[in-house]
A = this chain, B = another copy of it.
Amino acid sequence: MNGVRHQKWWGWGEEGIAFNHRDKPKLAPFVLDRVGIDLHAPGTPPPALSDIAVPASRLGGDLAAVLRGAVGDGHVVVEDEDRLVHTYGKGLADLVRVRAGDLPRVPDVVVYPADEDQVRAVVDTVVAADAVLIPFGGGSNISGSLTPPAAEERTIVSLDLGRMNRVLEVDEAAGLARVQAGVLGPDMEDQLGARGWTMGHQPDSFRHSTLGGWIATRSSGMQSDKYGDIADITRGLRAVLPGKVVVLRPLPSTSSGPSVREMILGSEGRLGVITEAWVNVHRVPENREIIAYLFPSWAAGMAAMQEIASSDATPSVTRVSDANETQFSLSTQKKSKGIKGKVSKALFAVLERRGWDLGNACLSYIGYEGGKDLVRRNKALVGKIVKKHGGISLGTGPGALYDQKKFDTPYIRDFLLDVGGVADVSETAAPWSRLMDVHSGTVRAAQAAFDEIGVKGFIMCHLSHSYHSGACLYFTFAFPPGTTDADAQLEKYWTVKNAVQQSFMDNAATISHHHGVGTDHARWLADDISEAGTDVMVALLRGVDPGRNLNPGTILPPSREW
């Protein structure tokens, strides 16, 4: 209607695209073995939209009229499917609840402003009406930032930024682009690429997330070692607050007091609506390769990543999977292509020569970008470190495959749900000195949770996003809930998810490295930034939004709402 593409109302990504295991012959046996789920069983597809009872919109006529005046008749939408799409993000709990038609509160209206002036009109209208505003980008959030509070009595307005999707300007002399917040990753890169530029930001959600969403949740992409987190990339921005617009001009660095830029970064809609940003952009690199390596153990792989981080090497991607994730990766290879042949052969040789335990092997991807000389030099530096830690190179073949497939992973959650499996992710960051403990503690915590709920579960992990002082650990867990009842599934899910997050807190790691706080992680906020730090956060949010009109319920634990 207004050209804004949405994800499936019931799951990740575009209609008609799904994860498929049939061309991956080792996956079904692997899943059966590890979590006892039969991928060949008939399964339960998601329900039809007609099976879902979407609560009626509570939008009053007066507010509707003002909103129509603000954004135009065609851009104030109260249809069920549109409101449904704007009710949830794409975390496991979101997927289970939407499939079950569990809809305690649905936005009463979705508005699609065309520009910042219209955003201002909407924000001011919502605050004047004491309604609630939830900004919406690509809808890929997986920490509960998008879901209206179940008990919210006020009118809920979802503000979809999808029409604000243009690269407005490239400052070629400075390597900066001014980009509207509602643009999806591929659309932005297409527009930048046409001018010879790239932002280099590639989160797993890339295809279905927006610049504004990245900023609002402190996103990070797989190439963050080179391009930085979104907090580094975002040099200036505009954000609509009630009655005003914050304008932060692009600056490479500044000492103008507490950073308002860093207050709006990560604000998840609680301070207002980000409408555009000035971001660092780079010339598309001359050369770009991703090389796969194999390490004899997790400890060896981790030690190598740490040594790379403190070396003179400057890779664009650093990533190593633990043994479980390596086994999973190998099981998803297609019949005769890609990593499989090479890995088998290489592993065979390694086994012969060094007596590796293949079950402990850990797959790693390291990315290289830049001039020929830089790429060569970095490969040599990394190669030496890999060798020192007993690793071997598998060449560029598996890396290229990983690079092509890297945005497909989020589809697996829906695929598993179809066949009765629950799967989700939790990620964190900590200093290098803590990462081995974070890993083992979290694996233990998940295992204890699996035992508690009586399931055969699986947890795997990779390190990615290296920094001088630490890195991100990204966990994926899966289990068969043994029930088709949504509430019962979710009870078990939260037992595992919460055990994983609690383990982060117990091991000096953070709530989240790049998924944000939302509602799912809010209960640990004070464990992460201290009770006094939470007080500071409350002072800020309450000072800007005393009426709790802006995405209330996210970031802060319920006890700290005013």
Q: A: which residues have CB within 8 A of B?
A: 171-176, 217-220, 229, 231, 235, 241, 244-268, 271, 280, 282-283, 306, 310, 312, 314, 370-371, 373-374, 377, 429-434, 465, 467-472, 508-517, 521, 525, 528-533, 535-544, 555
Contact B535 A432 (CB under 8 A): no
A543 to B370, CA, bound (A): 47
Within 8 Å CB of A171, what residues of B? 431, 433
A241 to B529, CA, bound (A): 14
Chain B nearest CB: distance from A322 CB in Å?
19
Contact B280 A469 (CB under 8 A): yes
Contact B265 A470 (CB under 8 A): no
Q: Chain B: which residue is nearest A543 at the CB level?
A: B539
Q: Chain B: which residue is nearest A528 at the CB level?
A: B256
Contact B514 A255 (CB under 8 A): yes
Contact B257 A530 (CB under 8 A): no
Of residues A229, A250, A312, which shows the largest number of chain B Cβ atoms within 10 Å of its Cβ? A312
Of residues A231, A265, A540, which shows the largest number of chain B Cβ atoms within 10 Å of its Cβ? A540
A181 to B523, CA, bound (A): 31
Task: Please pick, from B218, B246, B314, the residue contacting A254 in the complex, using a CB distance under 8 A.
Answer: B218
A472 to B262, CA, bound (A): 20
Of residues A255, A259, A266, A543, which shows the largest number of chain B Cβ atoms within 10 Å of its Cβ? A255
Of residues A262, A283, A373, A471, which shows the largest number of chain B Cβ atoms within 10 Å of its Cβ? A262
Contact B283 A271 (CB under 8 A): no
Task: Please pick, from B229, B271, B310, B533, the residue contacting A253 in the complex, using a CB distance under 8 A.
Answer: B229
Beyond contacts A173-B432, A218-B255, A257-B516: 13 other A-B pairs, Cβ-Cβ < 8 A, are A174-B432, A175-B432, A176-B433, A246-B533, A247-B530, A249-B510, A253-B465, A253-B513, A253-B514, A255-B513, A255-B515, A258-B555, A540-B543
A542 to B467, CA, bound (A): 35
Contact A254 B432 (CB under 8 A): no
A373 to B516, CA, bound (A): 40
Chain B nearest CB: distance from A371 CB in Å?
5
Task: Please pick, from B250, B263, B432, B528, the residue contacting A262 in the complex, using a CB distance under 8 A.
Answer: B263
A390 to B471, CA, bound (A): 42
Chain B nearest CB: distance from A545 CB in Å?
9
Known: A310-B175, A512-B256, A544-B539. A250 touches B431 (CB 8 A): yes
Contact B254 A265 (CB under 8 A): no
Known: A253-B229, A258-B271, A266-B259. A244 touches B531 (CB 8 A): yes
A220 to B255, CA, bound (A): 9
Task: Please pick, from B229, B314, B521, B541, the residue contacting A314 in the complex, using a CB distance under 8 A.
Answer: B314
A–B complex contacts, Cβ < 8 Å, 11 sampled: A175-B468, A249-B510, A250-B431, A252-B470, A258-B267, A258-B541, A259-B266, A263-B263, A280-B469, A282-B468, A539-B544
Contact A511 B256 (CB under 8 A): yes
The complex is assembled from copies of this chain, and their number is 2
Known: A171-B433, A229-B253, A555-B257. A529 touches B262 (CB 8 A): no
Task: Please pick, from B175, B465, B469, the residue contacting A469 in the complex, using a CB distance under 8 A.
Answer: B175
Chain B nearest CB: distance from A140 CB in Å?
14
Q: Chain B: which residue is nearest A372 at the CB level?
A: B312
Known: A433-B171, A468-B175. A257 touches B510 (CB 8 A): no
Give me the 7 closest cross-chain CB pairs, A-B, nearest first.
A539-B543, A262-B262, A252-B470, A218-B255, A252-B467, A174-B431, A173-B433
Contact A254 B539 (CB under 8 A): no
Within 8 Å CB of A220, what residues of B? 253, 255
Within 8 Å CB of A306, what residues of B? 173
Chain B nearest CB: distance from A85 CB in Å?
24
A264 to B257, CA, bound (A): 9
Of residues A258, A260, A280, A514, which shows the largest number of chain B Cβ atoms within 10 Å of its Cβ? A258
Task: Please pick, from B264, B312, B530, B555, the residue contacting A245 in the complex, using a CB distance under 8 A.
Answer: B530
Contact A529 B266 (CB under 8 A): no
A48 to B203, CA, bound (A): 64
Contact B260 A529 (CB under 8 A): yes
Q: Chain B: which residue is nearest A514 at the CB level?
A: B255
Within 8 Å CB of A231, what residues of B? 253, 259
Chain B nearest CB: distance from A4 CB in Å?
26
A245 to B471, CA, bound (A): 26
Q: Chain B: which residue is nearest A259 at the CB level?
A: B262
Contact B244 A471 (CB under 8 A): no
Known: A264-B258, A371-B312. A530 touches B241 (CB 8 A): no
Task: Please pick, from B253, B254, B468, the residue contacting A528 in the complex, using a CB distance under 8 A.
Answer: B254
Contact B244 A532 (CB under 8 A): yes
Task: Please pick, from B254, B255, B533, the residue contacting A248 in the complex, using a CB distance under 8 A.
Answer: B533
Within 8 Å CB of A539, what residues of B? 539-540, 542-544
Within 8 Å CB of A257, what residues of B? 266-268, 516-517, 525, 529, 537, 555
Q: Chain B: which residue is nearest A380 at the CB level?
A: B373
Known: A312-B374, A373-B312, A433-B174. A513 touches B254 (CB 8 A): yes
Within 8 Å CB of A262, what residues of B? 258-259, 261-263
Contact B247 A470 (CB under 8 A): no
A175 to B373, CA, bound (A): 28
Within 8 Å CB of A271, what residues of B? 258, 536
Within 8 Å CB of A538, what residues of B? 543
